[in-house]
């Protein structure tokens, strides 16, 4: 029992371990900064213990995620940057650091970081390849830049910057490992803990019980005073920590296509169909999709596959309607070629044509491809130019010429020019030939017209004009299809209730005043028209008593009802008498152990699981007020396991459990102990 209690108290101990180190930092910053400490700078994405994350810094890191960044990506990056700074501050205050020598050891020494191992794993062997790492670093820092084009020099600069950021990630990972180990070692068990932990595994009983549900006592038979509610709120206040939130009432109407929109889309589709079927220049037809590469027929969508399997060149399918779009397929070309190939290449800069031709002639005379690739290739030199097994769509990213050469080219070494450089390529292995096709698609999606959107916009505008400034905003207008919903939102929210990608509403809510009405917004790519009213601003660290009062009342009511049920059950000397009087039955539960909060056949009942293993056999016990019911029970069999206490084995089990717990709470605790000024709604 002592061990479980220690686990329950771990969060407090972790706060002490980390919090003492942070306290001097936070207080010191307050004393040194004067009144400006209390003024929130609005020209940053966030402040972490007074240090700002600038919009430029945030956008720079965001750009590294690629072109199709979502609000979820932005939130994830925000959390990563904030936690990185918070952990670094904590580490600095307690003297944890990574020296230059240690960093070199983590990258290319005896104690290589797991991050480095993962980045430089040999695709053939699946293990860390130190030669690959050394080759990469050699190319990165020893390359003669005078032989590179301006574009290649810019790429090298970008690769160098990426490497330095990777070094920072390795350093940050090592600091976090040291912090984690520090906290873990502060919780190493003593002999008493280990023996208590072992005892919990051997204590095992079967019980018989009679349950009595709380519902047998009407709520009206118990009363809960306001003082009791406030006392409970004060006692449990830490359970009601909350983020800064806003409560809004909002109207959201879906912008769905009308019958007229479906008719217009069908007419446009029919008008384009003839040109699609007959023209030699299919790409010029509006709404046509035509990939450059050939696609394996067996991998196509079911309806495309069904048509293409039997169709001839230039044959056109009938009209297909799926996913709210009208479609037709046209077979542009068919071929038979390998599904995938294993290919290798030697890559040269575009200005190295003479060198490329020279190496090409050497290969034609039997030169060693692998050795020449290692010496001359700008890409995959350490792998001897090997690109691995690739499908045609994967290779087409290098251009259609590269894919054509690999899948339909001549045997032996071929010369190919792409936007990336000059290539000498060779296919080393192929899969069996399969049927492939190049297929054009005419796709006309049914969308709400401007007239449809305008009609919905006008409906919302009229509602706002009539009710926006009055208390009737929340009532809705059922006759006109307008209902008003309520939502509590935080700065991290992306969706609002059933409305996806509603970040614009979140941004508005955190800059508005109570009772403000938003402008009418098109959100989620204009699929919803939304207007909102801000009804409540919550800036405190804790939920207000009024907000949690219903929950507190439910809890106290159940406790008081439980006391009445327990008092009723005390009057019975046997389980059979209790069951007969209550119209219930005696049930049994086997193998109840202290370590588990779940009782077989009942479910989550930690109080019953905690009490039963330590009760004497065949004695009726005091009723236990559980989560679902009140239980009158007795132990019918003691299943104590006979085994020998193994200190080292138990230490391993105990330490593993502690590590899992710390892993789940470590970052949360650091986050809660850090002064964070969250201004993300100013950015996105």
Q: Looking at 538, 565, 600, which one is the last position of a domain? A: 538
For the cut 60, the answer to whether the pLDDT of residue 15 exceeds it is no
Provide mean pLDDT across the span 219-234: 93
pLDDT attached to residue 225? 95
Provide mean pLDDT across the span 341-369: 93
For the cut 90, the answer to whether the pLDDT of residue 588 exceeds it is yes
For the cut 90, the answer to whether the pLDDT of residue 102 exceeds it is yes
CATH of the domain at 500: 3.10.50.40
Residues 631 and 512 in one domain: no
For the cut 80, the answer to whether the pLDDT of residue 199 exceeds it is no
Residue 21 structure tokens = 């180190």
**Own/partner pairs, 360-368, CB within 8 angstroms, 24+ separation:** 360/413, 360/415, 360/424, 363/413, 363/424, 363/426, 364/412, 364/413
Residues 407 and 523 in one domain: no
pLDDT category of residue 40 using cuts at 50, 70 and 90: very low
pLDDT tens column, 426-446: 999 988 999 999 999 999 999
For residue 175, CA distances in Å to 90, 91, 102 come to: 10, 7, 11
pLDDT higher for 392 or 13?
A: 392
pLDDT attached to residue 483? 94
For the cut 50, the answer to whether the pLDDT of residue 20 exceeds it is no
pLDDT tens column, 375-388: 999 888 888 999 98
Residues 63 and 43 in one domain: yes
For the cut 90, the answer to whether the pLDDT of residue 616 exceeds it is yes
pTM over 0.85: no
Contact call for residues 184 and 560 (beta carbons, < 8 A): no
Provide mean pLDDT across the span 657-661: 79
* Position 655 in a domain: no
Q: How far apart are CA 369 and CA 363, in angstroms?
A: 7
| Range list of β-strands (E), 339-470 | 340-348, 386-391, 414-418, 421-430, 433-445
Integer distance in angstroms from the first to the last C-alpha of the chain? 49
pLDDT attached to residue 8? 34
Residues 39 and 173 in one domain: yes
| Range list of β-strands (E), 146-255 | 204-213, 245-254
Residues 141 and 217 in one domain: no
Provide mean pLDDT across the span 163-180: 90
Q: Looking at 311, 336, 361, which one is the last position of a domain? A: 336
Residues 134 and 15 in one domain: yes
pLDDT attached to residue 517? 96
For the cut 90, the answer to whether the pLDDT of residue 488 exceeds it is yes
* Position 192 in a domain: no
pLDDT attached to residue 32? 38
Residues 292 and 226 in one domain: no
Residues 307 and 276 in one domain: yes
pLDDT attached to residue 664? 77
The domain total for the chain is 5
pLDDT category of residue 180 using cuts at 50, 70 and 90: confident
pLDDT attached to residue 329? 98
pLDDT attached to residue 150? 81
pLDDT tens column, 635-656: 999 987 666 778 888 788 778 8
Residues 84 and 173 in one domain: yes
For the cut 90, the answer to whether the pLDDT of residue 281 exceeds it is yes
| Range list of β-strands (E), 448-559 | 485-490, 521-523, 528-538
pLDDT attached to residue 420? 86
Secondary structure element (H or E) that encloses residue 412, with its range: none
Contact call for residues 334 and 440 (beta carbons, < 8 A): no
pLDDT tens column, 444-454: 999 999 999 99
pLDDT attached to residue 26? 34
Give residue 511's domain range.
245-256+448-538
pLDDT tens column, 543-565: 889 989 999 999 999 999 999 99
* Position 653 in a domain: no
pLDDT category of residue 42 using cuts at 50, 70 and 90: low
* Position 654 in a domain: no
Residue 342 structure tokens = 């294993």
* Position 309 in a domain: yes
pLDDT tens column, 104-125: 999 999 999 999 999 888 776 7
Residues 34 and 179 in one domain: yes
pLDDT attached to residue 648? 81
Residues 574 and 619 in one domain: yes
Which residues make Cβ contacts (< 8 Å) with residue 656, sequence separation at least 6?
none
For the cut 80, the answer to whether the pLDDT of residue 663 exceeds it is no
* Position 228 in a domain: yes
Residues 217 and 353 in one domain: no
Q: Of 448, 526, 445, 459, which is closest to residue 259 (Cα–Cα)?
A: 448
* Position 656 in a domain: no
Provide mean pLDDT across the span 252-262: 95
Q: Looking at 290, 315, 336, which one is the last position of a domain? A: 336
Secondary structure element (H or E) that encloses residue 625, with its range: strand 624-625
Of all residues in the chain, the percent with pLDDT exceeding 70 is: 93
pLDDT tens column, 120-152: 887 767 888 888 888 888 878 877 777 777 877
Mean pLDDT of the chain: 87
Q: Of 43, 24, 39, which is closest to residue 93 (Cα–Cα)?
A: 24
Of all residues in the chain, the percent with pLDDT exceeding 90 is: 58
Longest dimension (CA), the chain: 102
Provide mean pLDDT across the span 578-592: 92
Q: Of 184, 181, 183, which is closest to residue 17 (Cα–Cα)?
A: 183
For the cut 90, the answer to whether the pLDDT of residue 228 exceeds it is yes
* Position 133 in a domain: yes
């Amino acid at each position: 029992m002592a061990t479980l209690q220690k686990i329950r108290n771990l969060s407090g101990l972790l706060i002490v371990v980390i919090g003492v180190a942070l306290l001097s930092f936070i207080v010191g910053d307050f004393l040194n900064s004067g009144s400006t400490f209390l003024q929130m700078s609005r020209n940053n994405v966030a402040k972490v213990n007074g240090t700002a994350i600038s919009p430029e810094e945030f956008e720079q890191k965001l750009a590294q995620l690629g072109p199709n960044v979502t609000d979820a990506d932005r939130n994830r990056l925000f959390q990563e940057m904030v936690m990185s700074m918070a952990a670094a501050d904590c580490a600095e205050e307690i003297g944890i650091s990574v020296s230059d020598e240690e960093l070199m050891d983590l990258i290319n020494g005896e104690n290589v970081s797991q991050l480095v191992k993962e980045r430089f794993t040999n695709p053939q062997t699946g293990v860390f390849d130190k030669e690959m790492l050394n080759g990469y670093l050699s190319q990165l820092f020893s390359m003669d830049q005078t032989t590179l084009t301006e574009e290649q020099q810019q790429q090298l600069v970008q690769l160098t910057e990426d490497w330095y950021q990777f070094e920072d990630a390795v350093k940050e990972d090592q600091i976090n490992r040291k912090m984690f180990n520090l906290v873990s070692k502060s919780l190493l068990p003593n002999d008493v803990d280990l023996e208590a932990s072992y005892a919990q595994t051997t204590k095992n009983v079967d019980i018989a019980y009679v349950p009595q549900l709380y519902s047998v006592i009407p709520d009206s038979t118990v009363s809960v005073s306001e003082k009791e509610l406030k006392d409970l709120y004060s006692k449990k206040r830490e359970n009601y920590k909350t983020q800064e939130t806003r409560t809004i009432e909002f109207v959201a109407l879906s912008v769905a296509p009308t019958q007229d929109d479906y008719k217009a889309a069908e007419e446009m589709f029919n008008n384009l169909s003839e040109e699609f079927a007959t023209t030699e220049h299919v790409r010029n037809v509006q709404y046509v999709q035509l990939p450059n590469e050939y696609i394996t027929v067996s991998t196509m969508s079911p309806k495309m596959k069904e048509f293409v399997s039997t169709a001839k060149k230039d044959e056109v399918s009938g009209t297909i309607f799926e996913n709210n779009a009208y479609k037709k397929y046209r077979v542009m070309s068919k071929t038979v070629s390998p599904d995938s190939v294993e290919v290798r290449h030697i890559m040269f800069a575009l200005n190295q044509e003479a060198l490329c031709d020279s190496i090409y002639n050497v290969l034609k005379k039997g030169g060693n491809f692998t050795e020449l690739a290692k010496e001359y290739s700008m890409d995959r030199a350490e792998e001897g130019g090997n690109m691995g097994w690739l499908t045609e769509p994967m290779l087409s990213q290098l251009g259609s010429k590269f894919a054509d050469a690999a899948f339909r080219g001549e045997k032996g070494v071929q010369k190919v020019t792409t936007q990336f450089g000059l290539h000498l390529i060779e296919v080393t292995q192929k899969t069996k030939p399969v049927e492939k096709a190049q297929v054009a698609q005419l796709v006309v999606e049914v969308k709400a017209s401007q007239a449809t959107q305008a009609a919905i916009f006008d409906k919302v505008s009229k509602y706002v004009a009539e009710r926006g400034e009055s208390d009737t905003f929340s009532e809705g207008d059922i006759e006109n299809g307008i209902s008003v919903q309520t939502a509590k939102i935080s700065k991290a929210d992306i969706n609002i209730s059933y409305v996806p990608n509603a970040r614009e509403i979140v941004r508005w809510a955190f800059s508005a005043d109570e009772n403000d009405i938003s402008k009418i917004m098109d959100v989620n790519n204009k699929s919803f028209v939304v207007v909102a009213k801000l009804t409540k601003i919550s800036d405190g660290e804790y939920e207000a008593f009024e907000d949690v009062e219903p929950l507190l009342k439910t809890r106290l009511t159940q406790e008081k009802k439980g006391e009445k049920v327990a008092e009723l059950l005390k009057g019975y000397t046997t389980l059979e008498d209790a069951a007969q009087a209550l119209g219930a039955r005696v049930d049994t539960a086997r193998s109840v152990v202290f370590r588990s909060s779940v009782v077989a056949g009942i479910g989550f009942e930690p109080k019953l699981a905690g009490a039963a293993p330590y009760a004497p056999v065949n004695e009726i016990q005091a009723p236990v007020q559980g989560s679902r019911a009140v239980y009158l029970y007795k132990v019918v069999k003691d299943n104590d396991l006979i085994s020998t206490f193994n200190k080292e084995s138990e230490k391993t089990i105990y330490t593993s459990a502690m590590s899992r717990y710390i892993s789940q709470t470590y970052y949360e605790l650091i986050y809660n102990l850090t002064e964070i000024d969250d201004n993300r709604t100013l950015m996105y």
